[in-house]
Chain A
């Protein structure tokens, strides 16, 4: 990881060299409703013959049990397990506790299924090395989402917000005989935006979305909105801006840049949102 002291974070490979506190200095479970506070779970020891052992504290929640969420500690045999956090989760699921629940698919950072909170930051479990994690590694589901089970968050609302930005090409001109042409420079305008895999690491990490997620669209949806606003083939920029120009939908972004700091694809949703605001300003005069 490239470490810089940049004031404005432009990519997730820039992490601050110094941080005052490892986490915001309030007790865990502070202000959490009684039914949601995380309790100590059970210990799952490593196999007897294991030599290289790494502990993982993993958030567990089973809605059928009518119990509080709990934090289980799993000891993983690193010699029997792949190098990534996702490998450790799969190792636990197949060797220790088959009820551990998480989403995963591609295991190479292109599907966005295994987004979760690792050591307090959102990232894809399949692209985070186990050796980069703390001991014990703390694995939580994405923050600010309702939890279906264990590490599986309910993404219904954020996908509905994604649907709101109408992420498809809109054109009134009759479809051409062949592909719609685009200059290389126009195509380059999509770079850094089309790569989004919708893992919602950014939206889950956005304080504006924590407090006003019902109305603020969140960085993931707004990055997609910009991806279509900047597409030279799209003809609906005016309508798109009409729908975005709202004190909550767009302007609730206060450039906190947690989104850019946490994007596992190295994209810059903060810049995309700033570009939308600039476009609205341009439209006003």
Chain B
């Protein structure tokens, strides 16, 4: 709060007014959280189930269409949820000019990393994975 300016109390409190937004963010956070429950359980269970598999068997599972689709959904849900959550954390704790840079860096990672993952999933699905 800029306490050295002569602002009326109401002017300080009202600031720039309501952004009339925030619902989409809040709702998407909840939707992705719910979506992540089955996706994460599926992912963890599959990894445990394949703990005894060799490379070829694992690649065969990872390249199956159902696995690829679920994997892409998991990556999208996870990083979308992560971006929404980290945005709130940064807005809470980082103030001033650093906030903009922190948000930019966070979004760069949260968009870039799932693209890497999705490309990996697709390359396995289309048989481009490197042989062992």
Flag if A214 contacts B21 (CB, 8 Å).
no
Query: Is there an interface contact between B18 and A244, defined as CB atoms closer than 8 Å?
Result: yes
Query: Of B3, B9, B27, which is in contact with the most chain A CB atoms at under 10 Å from its CB?
Result: B9
Q: Decide if B91 touches A247 in the complex (CB within 8 Å).
A: yes
Interface secondary structure of B, over-half rule: helix
Give complex CA distance A160, B92 in Å. Answer: 22
Residues in B whose Cβ lies below 8 Å from that of A164 = 10, 13-14
In contact, A246 and B12 (Cβ under 8 angstroms): no
Q: Would A245 and B22 count as touching, CB distance under 8 A? A: yes
Residues of B in contact with A, size category: 20 to 34
The B1-45 residues at the A interface (CB cut-off 8 A) are 1, 3, 9-10, 12-15, 17-23, 25-27
Interface string of A240-253 (1 = CB under 8 A from B): 00111111111110
A211-B93, A212-B92 known; A246+B22 contact, CB < 8 A: yes
A residues in contact with B25, CB < 8 Å: 247, 251
- State which size class the interface on A falls in: 20 to 34
Chain B CB within 8 A of A3 CB: no
Stretch at the interface among A53-61, A126-134, A277-285: A277-285
Q: What residues of A have a CB within 8 angstroms of the CB of B92 in the complex?
A: 208, 211-212, 252, 254
A194 at the interface (CB under 8 A from B): no
List the A side residues contacting B93 at CB < 8 Å.
211
A sample of 17 more A-B contacts (CB under 8 A), given A212-B91, A245-B20, is A146-B3, A157-B9, A157-B12, A163-B10, A164-B13, A214-B12, A215-B15, A243-B17, A245-B18, A245-B19, A245-B22, A246-B18, A246-B20, A247-B19, A248-B91, A251-B26, A284-B23
